[in-house]
Chain A
Amino acid sequence: MAVMTYREALNMALREEMQRDPRVFVIGEEVGLYEGAYKVTQGLLKEFGPQRVVDTPICESGFTGVGIGAAMIGLRPVVEMMTFNFAILALDQIINSAAKMYYMSGGQFNIPIVIRGPGGPAHQLAAQHSQSMESYFYHVPGLKVVRPSTPADAKGLLKSAIRDDNPVVFIESETLYAVKGEVPEDPGFTIPLGQAIVRMEGRDVTVVAYMGMMYRVMEMAEMLEREGISIELVDPRTLRPMDTATIINSVRKTHRAVIVEAGAGFAGMGSEIAAFITEQAFDDLDAPVERVTGANAPMPYARNLEQAKTPSNQKIADAIRKVCYMNGG
């Protein structure tokens, strides 16, 4: 184990997988000479050369398609989106080419590609550069979608994503790149896709959260504990395929559920989680499932409006108290 940043953990995963498999290459804007807009690919050009660390012009659809084409004949590209907002330009390639090729070819052409980069709310970057993008992808059969919340998860999940034989959308966060944590240095360390983790065990309420929202829940946990509410915090880690069993098992224990997500609530991740909890564990529930979501608005620039857009610690705590009938609700 070593303590390192989330950014360094991603970098280590890329380096190890490129050392392990010559078919793995990195492609995207500013990944080589500039060493990544967020420095995730730092040092890779020097170690692996321009053939395997490929700088592209600004053409997301084009270079994502290049990755998919290379994957069709057996390479394992890691496509960097400078930010996931730009992946919208490549949405047709990701959905219509990458996700569906295996199916519409009757199992002849799988696409082992990772599309990664930062997404989610950032700091005062306004509407086009600060938004939760996962909902655009987890709806699509054929894609896997990962949101790694910790440095160790960033490393272990990225390595699994690169080794996966399917297209994996891997959305990091600008606000987490500097977060530090313990990370196994063993190159054999991986975390399987599709496995949730119970971050904190508790008795009274299951809270499902990931990325920045997960940290907000952790910040509130001690205070709520003092109020007599014991939180069980579940981080799905992979949004598709989702480990529904871990969430359901937790709800069966606590009988209450709160889902927190940064993105807009309408048809968001919380909608799906609330739906399968209701379908599978209705009789176990002691309160309606509560969702705490981002406002149904584009991201504003002004600091106060931006703060109001994503779920605050206060809103999260209120929702947890509400399902425990402890705020007069």
Chain B
Amino acid sequence: MAQGTLATSGVDTGLARHLLSQMVLIRRFEEKAAENYALGKIGGFLHLYIGQEAVAVGATSVLQPDDYAISHYREHGHCLAKGSDPRRVMAELFGRRDGLSHGKGGSMHLFDKSTNFLGGHAIVGAHLPLAAGVAFGIKYEGRDRVIVCYFGEGAVPQGEFHESMNLAALWRLPVIYICENNRYAMGTPVERALAEPNIWRFAQTYGIPGEAVDGMDVLAVREVVGRAVARARRDHEPTLVEARTYRFRGHSMRDPAGAIYRTRDEVEREKLRDPIVLFRQRCLTEGALTEADVKAIEKDVNDLVDEAVAFADASPEPPLEWLLTDIYKTED
């Protein structure tokens, strides 16, 4: 095992291994999910996060375990990074009984109370007020926690983005809004959707800190979100982070190539910024990890993902009587 550190950023071997493992886990998990979608084991919409892993992993790495995270419908990565059992996440994608939501939510509605992952929400922009509400609740009860809220740049034109920014700033709520700008809301490029495509600048309107960060650089995300988390925890100051990233796959499995609205050249060029390749190379170059470490990480992750698929496949379908449970909570 290498014992070196990344001199420029103070990343030791343990942290390097953690960050790389998490990013590789999300990547392999989703590649397997895509395979199983093709096999018909997963239905409905499946939105892959491939290419954006550095954002979820970098941001989560500066949270405490009891901090909250909330996300949109492209949330497998955020949920896994927050610590959910990959077996139960895959079982949810399969619509099985042992899924996080017992098969009732699916890919777009992952929830895990045990990790304070407050869900995948699939109406664009609608979970931004929820994040403000969680932060309001944290402050109301005087708790030492924060919430990170992930959303795409497609949510920025929505009224709820602006309502949430305003309330978070007005009431000084401990929330970090992380806009994952992957440049396309489905097939609409950001320049065709926003009069101000520099999303971090909306923070200035609301008088809160705003920062853009290279979303393909896990250490950069870690640094920027780390500062935001510290401000939120210490001063109850919200932040808007614009993480500039790119999804390598289509909007969903129904848009596999994403070829109509962007060129293949562009996709190939962006793949040169692959956050996993870049970070792995950097760890090797700077001596934080060895080739053997990287191989070991790959193997461990592959085993974990294979196990997740086997677990999901073996899990039974939810019993039919569950159709009518969990609609109303009755007294415990």
Kindly count the residue-residue contacts between A and B in the assembled complex, taking CB atoms under 8 Å apart.
Answer: 140
Q: Does A74 contact B (CB under 8 A)?
A: yes
Q: Does B181 contact A (CB under 8 A)?
A: no
Query: Is B167 touching A56 in the complex (CB atoms < 8 A)?
Result: yes
Q: A51-B140, A104-B104, A106-B104 are in contact. Are A69 and B130 (CB under 8 A)?
A: yes
Query: Is A104 touching B167 in the complex (CB atoms < 8 A)?
Result: no
Among A94-102, A251-259, A283-291, the one that faces the other chain is: A94-102
Query: Is A70 touching B136 in the complex (CB atoms < 8 A)?
Result: yes
Residues of A within 8 A of B135 (CB): 69
Query: Is A103 touching B327 in the complex (CB atoms < 8 A)?
Result: yes
Q: A69-B134, A107-B326 are in contact. Are A96 and B167 (CB under 8 A)?
A: no
Among A59-67, A80-88, A269-277, A319-327, the one that faces the other chain is: A59-67
Q: Does B9 contact A (CB under 8 A)?
A: no
**Contact check: which of B100, B132, B330 meets A69 at CB < 8 Å?**
B132
Residues of B within 8 A of A106 (CB): 99-105, 111, 326
Query: Is A108 touching B129 in the complex (CB atoms < 8 A)?
Result: no
Query: Is B167 touching A57 in the complex (CB atoms < 8 A)?
Result: yes
**Contact check: which of A62, A75, A92 meets B164 at CB < 8 Å?**
A62
**Contact check: which of A64, A66, A101 meets B136 at CB < 8 Å?**
A66
Q: Does B43 contact A (CB under 8 A)?
A: no
Query: Is B133 touching A102 in the complex (CB atoms < 8 A)?
Result: no
Min Cβ gap A239→B in Å is 15
Give B92's nearest chain A residue, CB to CB.
A106
Residues of A within 8 A of B99 (CB): 106
Residues of A within 8 A of B314 (CB): none
Q: A25-B140, A166-B328 are in contact. Are A62 and B113 (CB under 8 A)?
A: no
Q: Does A128 contact B (CB under 8 A)?
A: no
Query: Is A65 touching B102 in the complex (CB atoms < 8 A)?
Result: no
Q: Does B112 contact A (CB under 8 A)?
A: yes
Query: Is B104 touching A93 in the complex (CB atoms < 8 A)?
Result: no
Q: Does B109 contact A (CB under 8 A)?
A: yes
Query: Is A108 touching B101 in the complex (CB atoms < 8 A)?
Result: yes
Q: Does A73 contact B (CB under 8 A)?
A: yes
| Chain A to chain B contacts (Cβ below 8 Å), 14 pairs | A57-B166, A57-B167, A59-B159, A62-B129, A65-B127, A66-B136, A69-B129, A69-B137, A72-B137, A73-B134, A104-B111, A105-B101, A106-B326, A165-B330
Residues of A within 8 A of B138 (CB): 73
Residues of A within 8 A of B167 (CB): 56-57, 59, 62-63, 66
Query: Is A142 touching B328 in the complex (CB atoms < 8 A)?
Result: yes
Query: Is B129 touching A64 in the complex (CB atoms < 8 A)?
Result: yes
Query: Is B111 touching A92 in the complex (CB atoms < 8 A)?
Result: no
Query: Is B119 touching A101 in the complex (CB atoms < 8 A)?
Result: yes
Query: Is B134 touching A62 in the complex (CB atoms < 8 A)?
Result: no
**Contact check: which of B132, B325, B327, B330 meets A66 at CB < 8 Å?**
B132
Q: A59-B163, A59-B167 are in contact. Are A141 and B133 (CB under 8 A)?
A: no
Min Cβ gap B102→A in Å is 4
Query: Is A68 touching B105 in the complex (CB atoms < 8 A)?
Result: no
Residues of B within 8 A of A144 (CB): 328
Q: Does B126 contact A (CB under 8 A)?
A: yes
Q: Does B303 contact A (CB under 8 A)?
A: no
Query: Is A72 touching B118 in the complex (CB atoms < 8 A)?
Result: yes
Q: Does A109 contact B (CB under 8 A)?
A: yes
Q: Could you list 16 further interchain pairs (A-B, Cβ under 8 angstroms) beyond the known A62-B160, A97-B126, A105-B326?
A: A51-B140, A57-B166, A59-B167, A61-B126, A62-B164, A65-B130, A65-B163, A66-B132, A69-B136, A72-B130, A72-B133, A73-B68, A75-B140, A103-B326, A103-B327, A106-B102
Q: A56-B167, A65-B160, A97-B126 are in contact. Are A105 and B134 (CB under 8 A)?
A: no
Residues of B within 8 A of A104 (CB): 101, 104-105, 109, 111, 119
